[in-house]
Amino acid sequence: MPSVTRQPFRTAVLVLVWGWLLFLVLAPNLLVVGASVMTRDPGTFIALPLNLDAYRQLFDPLYLEVFLHSLYMAAMTTLVCLLVGYPFAWALSKLGKQRQLLLIFLLIVPFWTNSLVRTYALKMLLATNGLINSALMSLGWIDEPIQMLYTEGAVIIGLVYLLLPFMILPLYSVFDDLRQELLMASHDLGAGRLATFIHVIVPLTLPGVLAGVMLVLLPAMGLFFVPDILGGSRNLLVGNVIKNQFLDARNWPFGAAASIVLTITMAILMLAHRLSKQRLGEGGAG
Amino acid sequence: MKKTLLSLSNLSKQFDGKNVLDSLNLDIYDGEFITLLGPSGCGKTTLLRLMAGFEHPDAGTITLAGQDLTGTPPEHRPLNTVFQHYALFPHMSVFDNVAYGLKMEKRPKEEIRERVDEALAMVQLQDFKGRKPHQLSGGQQQRVAIARAVVKRPRLLLLDEPLSALDYKLRRTMQGELKRLQRELGITFVFVTHDQEEALSMSDRVVVLKDGEVQQLGTPREVYERPANLFTARFVGETNFFPGEVESIHDSAITVDVFGLKRTLRRPDFPVRPGQPLHVLLRPEDIRVLDPADAQGVAGKIIERNYKGSTLDSVIQLEDGSEVLASEFFDEDDPAFDYRLGEPVKVSWVDGWEWLLPEEADESVHEDALTDA
């Protein structure tokens, strides 16, 4: 490409990228920050004066409890995803290339169906007269249907079901990069399987773990339709609180403050992820 | 008689039904520097991995100082490996990398610190303890890998093409350092390489491998000057092959017809009969380039000349079209000594400097070995 046309092209790309970031990322976030420090108004939703009431309201025992319960369910979801995803990704990386591609394809197929629809499908399975209960009863294993729907467990199952691929994919990527020579070196220097796992495999796959946690924990606090469909009134997520404030309670400043807390949590996790990668050096595991 | 440290007997290994090693026998002596040399795919890396315990033989045994190691996992073998790409743990500092093996042995902290310092001093990296591997150059990473392996004081050190990723100059320096380390530590070194020059300059003994079979086992001088077969002759160094035919046989000499010249040569170890075709091998430095008017020698003309600093390497085309490589040292009396292209010359050699090999059943298979080298 001649150098004369290169400069304008470069400028156009930069303008596009910066424009995108300014109007679609920075501006909306500033609006949220702005809304969070304003006062609730029944007519215009938000109004002056500026104050920190919304943030104070976050520490209201009622909401604090919702937050903590939400965090607990999100953490359980993340833990289950990690416990299932880690060995899954490890085993996946050990298969032949053909099989790896097939399994990753199967992992992605559910995304072709809307997650709301899939959550309703899960409801059909878990309901009192749903597939699981009917099957167990017709087998004679249980006499009465088990209460599965509208429990904390149902919400966690729903979240795990929707978010597991987001844990597996980054983990698969770090396991795929893990050089066999490093494991051989560890054994060669006298480490058994467990010591190699603790001292070599875990530290080298930690960036993948943190990436997976980031991709699961935060959405797990926000996916409000999962408790809506599976959880009943007591198992709320932060996402439900935010949604309710904007759509039902019409308390925009409080909704904005709640979503900022989520954003900050996300930022802290990203920072931790970055630090863990830096520890391994610019070239990652290379 | 030298003491055998590691003994491999009847080792066989197959991958996907293909023989990588076929009933291989090898005794490695205590304290020697032995090199496994061969083209890629000859089984040298597999052999090393069998010794380290990363692979298990389909048949055969490995014994170290009389103790059977065949079923022992790598973490319980008293030998260590320097990997081709160093395999340093990227998340650990230089110190922690070197200390890893000692920590696994649960040595006291004080002893670990002392021994790591000592090992790092040996490879002149004592000032780099706190660095991460990615902050080091290739040569420094290589030295950390060596320190990490020798700090455990293994009976045997396995080195898998450890210098192949370094540039030429650094490789020469590291060759010298490895030899020095081996002398100082008195550890047996098993070195894998496809570089014949490296093998000749570093080793006490060289094992030439092809298709999982030992082609020749001997000192560098034996392998170079008295190759056991055509493969070794072609793989190790440059060689001219002249076709010869046995004319007559005497007690300790035979008369051979080479390009119509009747030469009386040393009688070889293998059985000969009159009329038998054989190969007369001559290294380029053994070739004498003579004046075209000279009474002896085979006529040809110079078709290539390459100035190599200390030698003048030339290619001479003989009248039958075959080409001869000659490598001549510059001598002080005639510093301007040179050839012009097309210059007619005669080619000969001093009787006794040649090496004779019988014709082999299937000689075409050896050709691909040349491109591999």
Judge: A182–B105 Cβ closer than 8 Å, yes or no: no
Question: What pLDDT, on the 0 to 100 scale, is given for residue B364?
Answer: 52
Question: What pLDDT, on the 0 to 100 scale, is given for residue B372?
Answer: 38
How many other β-carbons are positioned within 10 Å of the β-carbon of residue B182? 21
The mean-pLDDT minimum among A105-114, B208-217, B331-340 falls in B331-340
Separation CA B37–CA B26 (nearest Å)? 14
3-state class (DSSP) for residue B307: strand
Question: What pLDDT, on the 0 to 100 scale, is given for residue B102?
Answer: 96
SS3 content of chain B, % helix, strand, coil (to 5): 30, 35, 35
**Beta strands at B298-307 and B311-318: parallel, antiparallel or unpaired:** antiparallel
The CA-to-CA distance between both ends of chain B, in Å, stands at: 34
Residues of A in contact with B84 (CB under 8 A): 181
Per-residue pLDDT band for B1 (boundaries 50, 70, 90) equals low
| Facing B152 at nearest CB: one of A186, A189, A195 | A189
Per-residue pLDDT band for B366 (boundaries 50, 70, 90) equals very low
Separation CA A159–CA A266 (nearest Å)? 18
CA-closest candidate to residue B310, choices B289, B285, B279: B285
Residues in chain A: 286
Query: What pLDDT, in 10s, does the model give residues B287-312?
Result: 988 888 888 888 899 999 888 888 88
Nearest CA in chain B to A280: B91
Question: Which ranges constitute the DSSP H helices of B203-308?
Answer: 220-225, 230-235
pLDDT, mean over chain B: 89
CB contact at 8 A, B277 and B245: yes
DSSP secondary structure letter of residue A130: S
Per-residue tokens: A22:
């300014």
For residue A279, give how far its alpha carbon lies from the nearest alpha carbon of chain B (Å): 6
CB contact at 8 A, B234 and B372: no
Question: What pLDDT, on the 0 to 100 scale, is given for residue A5?
Answer: 56
Question: What pLDDT, on the 0 to 100 scale, is given for residue A284?
Answer: 40
Count of CB pairs separated by less than 8 Å, A with B: 75
| Facing B87 at nearest CB: one of A181, A282, A284 | A181
- Report the percent of chain B where pLDDT is more than 70: 95
Separation CA B239–CA B188 (nearest Å)? 31
Task: Report the alpha-carbon angle B186-B192-B194, nearest 5.
Answer: 140
Amino acid at B359: E
Question: What pLDDT, on the 0 to 100 scale, is given for residue B130?
Answer: 93
Per-residue pLDDT of chain A (286 residues; tens, 9 = 90+): 454 556 888 888 999 999 999 999 899 999 999 988 888 887 777 888 888 888 888 888 888 888 888 889 999 999 999 999 999 999 999 998 899 999 999 998 988 888 889 999 998 888 888 888 888 888 888 888 888 888 888 999 999 999 999 999 999 999 999 999 999 999 999 999 999 999 999 999 998 998 999 899 988 988 889 988 888 777 888 888 888 888 888 888 999 998 998 888 888 888 887 887 777 654 443 3
Separation CA B372–CA A11 (nearest Å)? 50
Per-residue pLDDT band for B335 (boundaries 50, 70, 90) equals low
CA-closest candidate to residue B61, choices B20, B5, B6, B9: B9
Judge whether A202 is closer than 8 Å to chain B, CB to CB. Answer: no
Average pLDDT, integer, range B178-189:
91
Chain centroid to Cα B157, Å, comes to: 17
The answer, yes or no, to whether residue B334 has pLDDT greater than 80, is: no
How many other β-carbons are positioned within 10 Å of the β-carbon of residue A145? 16
**Beta strands at B355-358 and B156-160: parallel, antiparallel or unpaired:** unpaired
Query: What pLDDT, in 10s, does the model give residues B81-110?
Result: 999 899 999 999 999 999 999 999 999 999
How many other β-carbons are positioned within 10 Å of the β-carbon of residue A188? 27
For residue B172, give how far its alpha carbon lies from the nearest alpha carbon of chain A (Å): 25
Per-residue tokens: B7:
């003994």
Query: What pLDDT, in 10s, does the model give residues B33-80?
Result: 999 999 988 889 999 999 999 999 999 999 998 899 998 999 999 999
- Report the percent of chain B where pLDDT is more than 90: 53
Per-residue pLDDT band for B373 (boundaries 50, 70, 90) equals very low
Judge whether A188 is closer than 8 Å to chain B, CB to CB. Answer: yes
CB contact at 8 A, B81 and A188: yes
Give A281 or B119, the one with higher predicted confidence.
B119
Separation CA B110–CA B95 (nearest Å)? 13
Query: What pLDDT, in 10s, does the model give residues B9-45?
Result: 999 999 888 888 988 999 999 999 999 999 988 889 9
Judge whether A194 is closer than 8 Å to chain B, CB to CB. Answer: no
Separation CA B125–CA B102 (nearest Å)? 18
> φ and ψ at B347, to 5 degrees?
-115, 135
Average pLDDT, integer, range B348-353:
85
CB contact at 8 A, A238 and A258: yes
Question: What pLDDT, on the 0 to 100 scale, is given for residue B173?
Answer: 87
